[in-house]
Structure 1
Amino acid sequence: MRATWRGLPARRYEAGWEPGLVVPAADGSPLVTDHYFPRADGDFPTLLVRSPYGRGVPWAPMYGLLFAEQGFHVVLQSCRGTGGSGGAFHLWRHESADARATVSWLRGRPWFNGSLGTIGPSYLGYVQWALALDPPPELKAMVVQVGLHDPRALLHGDGALHLETALVVALGMTHQHRGVVPFVKATLRLQRHLRGVTRARPLRGAHATALGGEVPWLDEALSHPDPEDAYWRGASLAPAAERLDVPTSLITGWHDVLADQTIAQYGRLRRAGCDTALLVGPWTHTSALQQGWPEVFSESLAWLRAHLCGDPSGLRPTRVRLHVGGDDTWRDLDDWPPADTGTPWYPAPGGHLTRQPPTDGAPLADFRYDPADPTPSLGGQLLSRTAGARDNAPLEAREDVLTFTSAPLTEPVDVLGPVTARLAVSVDTGHADVFSRLCDVDERGRSTNVCDGLSPVQAAPGVSAHVTVPMSSTAHRFAAGHRIRWQISAGAHPRYARNPGTGRSPLDATEFTPVRITLHADSALFCGDSALFPDRG
């Protein structure tokens, strides 16, 4: 594993392995646990890593071996109902109690010195927030990498069903802990059936074909889109960050499906006065742990050494470090977001994007969206291998996609912070979604997505309504000679489930109605205006 990446710090110790330990969960179910440790005399802190994805590749080498070699005990545990552990898995209901039960078990280990840290990505971040709801006194540091704290927002954020993400999450939760070969077979099956499943009428229950059987928790989760529904009570662990005083390092990528949740975590921790740091790279959810692993590992190790070992020598001097797209550089900031520096851009006739605000709200352009031939998703914040920055030519050639493009820039334009669209639109049926995307167009005409977002439109048929579309955050430099492009459509399928155009839930719709969407001139794109950007996590 060490040979996979260049630039990892030198090994300090040989690592030992004690597999198959049994730790009682809160209800007494056996939680199968592996213990990695430095083969040396001495007093070493402990890292707790709890996973629903098994304890093999990549978790064993990346967290067990690499951190044991750096002088940590690593406790790698399969969550309840996964990886050989007893009981039944649930997406959120058991993690706080089971984490506390594991810490109680740790207190009885002769090698546990009372200094505890947590680390891990994605759902392995969720279980860290679960422990942080009522942190034990031993918890001295957390490292949350591309981490989750609100499963409802992951599946239903922005007022739409995140269809492809829901299927990929269910794939991982159902099959990854069973081993590499079963997981690869399950992944190939999902790829084969993805188009059929995501276009099924109705969507409800159609995933069983692609996932190899029913997934009861997924059926339940998809059936409750309302954030106020009692079903989700206790699912969001946002309150943990609002009162936490455990030093916490946060790591994400601009194209991570959980980037907005990470940035929201950072804001809450800062408001709580918690010692925190933020690293944002040019990564997707998965590439942060692949191409980005040398930076992610070094950042994580420095934080853990500082707060568990009393060695702050590896910490960077600023609280925030982020990658700036467009010129492929890194920038250090004292905080995030920076002071508002954005100036609105406005769509104009002829597909132009200007700094000049409109004089009226007259109709500017329109397009027809047909749910039977949905506008496809391309790149962006996804869990799949198609995530990230992509050439948008296939999208922009479609008749159901509007584009507004600036003149070539005479000097570079930096966008640092949240991006938001305010759209004035009318829909002939009264029901639609609007998808808004910021793109960088180079001298050759290649249009590359920077950030985006989607919001539903519900208004009286044909009546103009103002819709705010949060488009995530970015740090991007538009070079001189490049052009800024605003792309507007009515969806991104299968990233988001199709809006049927009838007002019916996409989960149950069997009838689809094409819609005509009219964009009015009193629309605007705000780049880097943090005061306009709502907390999305």
Structure 2
Amino acid sequence: MTPHTHDVVPRSHWAAPSGKPPLSSRLMRATWRGLPAKQHDVGWEPGLEVPAADGSLLRTDHYFPRTKGDFPTLLVRSPYGRGVPWSPLFGVLFAEQGFHVVLQSCRGTGGSGGRFDLWRNEAGDGQATVAWLRQQPWFTGTLGTLGPSYLGYVQWALALDPPPELKAMVVHVGLHDPHALFHSGGALLHENALAVGLGVKYQHQGMKPMVRATLRLQRRLREITSARPLRRAYESALGEVPWLDAAMTHPDADDPHWDGASVAAAAEQLAVPTCLVTGWHDALADQSFQQFDRLRRAGCESSLLVGPWTHTSAMQQGWPEVFAETLAWLRAHLCGDRAGLRPTPVRVHVGGEDAWRDLDDWPPATATTDWFPATEGTLSAQTPVESGPLATFRYDPDDPTPSVGGRLLSRAAGPRDNRKLEAREDVLTFTSAPLAESADVVGPVSARLRIATDTGHADVFVRLCDVDPQGRSLNICDGLMRLRTAGQTPSEVTVPMSSTAHRFAAGHRIRLQISGGAHPRYARSPGTGESSVEATHLQPVHLTVHSGTALTLPQGTP
């Protein structure tokens, strides 16, 4: 911990600027429904220059209530620009509710000086910004932070050494571990990596450059994700992005490249009340669950809201619920008004039931049930008597098994009908009989696989699906693991499939889906043991699933 200089300049009369928020922000604000009534008119002080840790100037906008009085301050730091949607989402809405809002572009973005370098400057620049706040006549010494995705990362970076003014944090669909953003189970999260490169490089430049780059990437996605080698193939759509190339080509979390990247440790000793918001189909959901666990172990006051959302829809369709949760938390810890807080630390949306459930902790302490696949393609909670191989399939990386929905950063994320995917010969399905009564699954899901490959190198992708009486198969959660097996001798691996809260209704069936990949969500395994990013040769692989494989489901509580 470094000592803080936190003398706040004595406040004098502050003459509020006369500017109104940008027209685009006011127009977007006017379209939102289901939000609390405005309490204050909003003023805007744009283009302030705040010294970064290295002296670069960080472009900063200040939103404030046009009402006499003292108000707490919210700090929002973003590499995605300061316009739509951040200006209306945070600047306008929270100033209306009685907060100063400081919206700042990270170093090297949105007109700020210096060079953007994924994760390396955020802790120092956050501290420098708080030092600047102490000199402002309207700053009361009470500070909160908020924001989604990378805007969550900068919060955790500041919380590594929290300034004494920091009294509350709200991390929406947040990031704390950049390595896990790009790599999972030993495989490159290729489609998400491209989305990150697109957003960070272009969104802060404005709507037109962002739209043009998005369309380029959509047109060339198949070409980019099928290139041999994959490395730098994205440049046809995104141009040169050195930090993206570095992230893609360093798959090992222990590589020195990632030293200092993770800010997970901030939660291990934090005393700042922290609210986490995520969705069951958020690409960063596991990062929220991990930080909530760390906060609880540290004894930090914390809350968790998990909705039926993806990474993007949480801040769109889910915004009324997310805004209400955020506002209640900030009012409780910055203004002393705890009336809006819910009685339990955790609230989750239960899919299939379409209802919210309040819990005392996450994950809840529940028993688990193993479901076992059989040779006939069935799935049963009865311990099998058979032994040996259950099924074999061939994975061809030249015709990779496609990805359908799931935890993506794009609009293609979320639950989708898997029937077309499951009709492929390279996808195995094991399905239960129709349930006589509803069954709740609440908590972490995993699959224990006994599996062999003929080349010793493959990926295995497993997915939990809900099959309705009409045969529609909707994905609930999933996971992938890169395998290193010893010839035809089966290896036992456990594949984490993240977490869920879902009710399988009576008459529905539980399905375990197994395949050799999900492309282009994950970069395909070349089947040779080479790096997916560098490989130029592809080798088809036969995978054999053996008896002893099991799907582990946490039993829900009503």
TM-score, scaled to structure 1: 0.98
Cα offset, 1:359, TM superposition: 2.8
Q: Secondary structure at the match of 2:252?
A: coil
Shift of 1:360: 4.8
Residue in 2 that maps onto 1:427: 453
Would you identify which runs of 4 or more consecutive aligned residues in structure 1 move more than 3 Å?
none
Task: State the partner residue of 2:124.
Answer: 97
- DSSP-derived class of the 2:184 partner: helix
Q: Which residue of 1 aligns with 2:202?
A: 175
SS at match of 2:114: coil
Contact 1:342 1:415 in 2 (8 A): no
Specify the alignment match of 2:4 in structure 1: none
RMSD, matched Cα: 0.9
Partner of 1:262: 288
Structure 1 residue 200 corresponds to structure 2 residue 227: yes
- Contact 1:491–1:498, Cα closer than 8 Å, also in 2: yes
1:232 matches 2:258: yes
Aligned partner of 2:177 among 131, 144, 150: 150
- Taking the aligned partners of 2:67 and 2:398, their CA distance within structure 1 comes to 64
Q: Which amino acid aligns with 2:395?
A: Y
Q: Is the 8 A contact 2:302 2:345 kept in 1?
A: yes
Quote the residue 1:384 is aligned against: 410
1:284 aligns with 2:310: yes
> Residue 104 of structure 2 aligns with which residue?
77
Match of 2:17 in 1: none
Q: Which residue of 2 aligns with 1:62?
A: 89
Distance in 2 between the 1:529 and 1:480 partners?
A: 15
Q: 1:2: Cα distance to partner?
A: 3.2
Structure 1: which amino acid aligns with 2:427? V
Compute the displacement of 1:529 (Å): 7.3
- 3-state DSSP class of the match of 2:87? helix
Matched to 2:539, the amino acid is T
Q: Which moved more, 1:217-226 or 1:260-269?
A: 217-226
Q: 1:311 aligns with which of 337, 360, 378?
A: 337
Q: 1:342 aligns with which of 347, 357, 368?
A: 368
**Residues 360 and 522, structure 1, Cα contact 8 Å, conserved in 2:** no
- Which amino acid is 1:388 matched to? G
Q: Is the 8 A contact 2:440 2:555 kept in 1?
A: no
Alpha-carbon deviations, 1:134-157, whole Å to 9, x = none? 000000000000000001011012
Q: Which moved more, 1:223-232 or 1:133-142?
A: 223-232
Q: For residues 61 and 528 of structure 1, what CA distance do their matches in structure 2 show?
A: 40
Q: Is the 8 A contact 2:157 2:263 kept in 1?
A: yes
The one-letter code sitting in structure 2 at the alignment partner of 1:461 is G
- 2:113 aligned partner: 86
Distance in 2 separating the partners of 1:285 and 1:63: 17
SS of residue in 2 equivalent to 1:313 = coil
Q: In the alignment, residue 215 of structure 2 is paired with which amino acid?
A: L
Deviation at 1:67, TM superposition (A): 0.2
Q: 1:279 deviation in Å?
A: 0.1
Aligned pair partner of 2:76 in 29, 41, 49: 49
Question: Structure 1 497/529 Cα, relative in aligned 2: closer, same or farther at 3 Å?
Answer: farther
Structure 1 residue 221: Cα displacement = 1.1
SS in 1 for 2:188: coil
- Of 290, 298, 302 in structure 2, the residue corresponding to residue 272 of structure 1 is 298
Map of 1:465 onto structure 2: 491
Q: Which residue of 2 aligns with 1:15?
A: 42
2:527 pairs with 1:501: yes
1:439-518 matched pairs, under 5 angstroms:
439-518=465-544
Cα pair 2:73 2:143 within 8 Å, conserved: yes
TM-superposed CA distance for 1:337, in Å, is 0.6
Which residue matches 1:326?
352
Structure 1 residue 189 corresponds to structure 2 residue 216? yes
Q: What's the CA shift string for 1:382-424, capped at 9, x where partnerless?
A: 0111100000011101000000000000000000000000000
Of 185, 193, 197 in structure 2, the residue corresponding to residue 166 of structure 1 is 193
Contact 1:412/1:478 (8 A) holds in 2:
yes
Instruction: Read off the aligned partner of 2:77 and give its amino acid letter.
Output: R
TM-aligned CA distance change 1:167 to 1:253, over 3 Å: same
Instruction: Give the C-alpha shift of residue 342 in structure 1.
Output: 2.2
**CA distance, structure 2, for counterparts of residue 364 and residue 210 of structure 1:** 43
Is the CA contact (8 Å cut-off) linking 1:502 and 1:512 kept in structure 2? yes
Per-residue CA deviations over 1:418-449 (Å, capped at 9, x if unaligned) read 00000000000000010000000001110000
Conserved 8 A contact 1:13-1:39: yes
The one-letter code sitting in structure 1 at the alignment partner of 2:473 is S
Distance in 2, Cα, partners of 1:3 & 1:334: 37
Q: CA offsets, 1:310-342, max 9 Å, x none?
A: 000110111000100011110000111111232
Question: What whole-Å deviation, never above 9, does each CA across 1:350-390 have from its counterpart, x for those lacking one?
Answer: 10000112235400001000000000000010011110000
Within a 5 Å distance, the mapping from 1:341-420 to structure 2 comes to 341-420=367-446
| Equivalent pair of 2:441/2:555 in contact (CA under 8 Å) | no
Aligned pair 1:25/2:52, yes or no?
Answer: yes
Q: Report Cα offsets for 1:1-35 as digits up to 9, x if no partner.
A: 33433210010000000000000000000000000
Q: Secondary structure at the match of 1:466?
A: strand
Equivalent residue, structure 2, for 1:535? none
Q: 2:464–2:513: 8 Å Cα contact kept in structure 1?
A: yes
Fraction of identical pairs, as percent: 71
2:178 corresponds to 1:131: no
State the distance in 2 between where 1:459 and 1:517 align: 10
Q: 1:242-257 residue pairs with structure 2 within 5 A? A: 242-257=268-283
Q: Which residue identity does 1:26 align to in structure 2?
A: A
Distance (Å, rounded) in 1 between the aligned partners of 2:508 and 2:555: 21
Aligned to 1:534: none
**Structure 1 spans left out of the alignment, 5+ residues:** 531-537
Which range moves more in the overlay, 520-529 or 185-194? Answer: 520-529
Distance 2:408 2:521 in 1: 7
Within 1, Cα distance between the matches of 2:481 and 2:420?
Answer: 22
Distance 2:245 2:103 in 1: 29
Query: 1:205: how far off?
Result: 1.2
Q: Which of residues 219, 223, 247 in structure 1 aligns to 2:249? A: 223
**For residue 533 of structure 1, what is the aligned residue in structure 2?**
none
Once the two structures are overlaid, the 10-residue window that deviates more, 102-111 or 341-350, is: 341-350
Secondary structure of the corresponding residue to residue 96 of structure 1: helix
Structure-2 separation of matches of 1:464 and 1:309: 59
Partner-residue secondary structure (3-state), 2:130: helix
3-state SS of 2:63 partner? strand
Distance 1:529 1:500, change over 3 A: farther
1:6 & 1:474 partners in 2: Cα distance?
A: 29
Q: TM-score, normalised by structure 2?
A: 0.94
Structure 2 residues without counterparts, runs of 5 or longer: 1-27
Pairwise CA distance, 1:460: 1.3
Q: 2: CA distance between counterparts of 1:529 and 1:366?
A: 30
